[in-house]
Structure 1
């Protein structure tokens, strides 16, 4: 039976996994964007491609570097959810 505690545990686990995955992908990109912004402010170069391309490359690099971990976390979440799904329905 789906109790409120079981529902909260299920949703909180999913939100935690989602937040971890987003942090792994976004935080390095934010730090790279900060470094590029400081460089642009110091040199007064206002090129849009200079601010976009490093963030894109950092995000793609993190996908390549942490992709296996991300897929493993998501598959573990789905396997756990499907394992307890039968007991939650009835």
Structure 2
């Protein structure tokens, strides 16, 4: 296995991880920021106020972007298996 092949595999795996986790991370940031602003303006410091909306938002992201994320993972896995078959 050459260094270029290994670097390419690492680059592809990091790219896949970032692409798959981005919808969850961006949604968590946006919902968390909105809830923080709401809590700061209303002086309500309830813990469930931060947890429940984030949980609902993450479930919606998984519902709407789940098939896209699954396709990304399947494509990445197919590419890895194709690389493995070409090595031997």
TM-score category of the 2 structures, normalised to the smaller one: over 0.9
Tell which deviates more after alignment, 68-77 or 23-32: 23-32
Structure 1's consecutive aligned runs of 4 or more residues displaced over 4 angstroms after TM superposition are none
What is the aligned partner in structure 1 of residue 20 from structure 2? Answer: 21
The TM-score with structure 1 as length reference comes to: 0.93
Q: Cα offset for 1:45?
A: 0.3
Q: Cα offset for 1:25?
A: 1.1
Q: How many residues align?
A: 88
Q: Give the distance between the partners of 1:87 and 1:3, measured in 2 at CA.
A: 12
Matched residue SS, 2:44: coil
Give the superposed CA RMSD.
Answer: 0.8
Task: Specify every segment of 5 or more residues in structure 1 that has no aligned partner in the other structure, as ranges.
Answer: none
Which structure 2 residues correspond to residues 1-90 of structure 1 after superposition, within 5 A? Answer: 2-88=1-87, 90=88
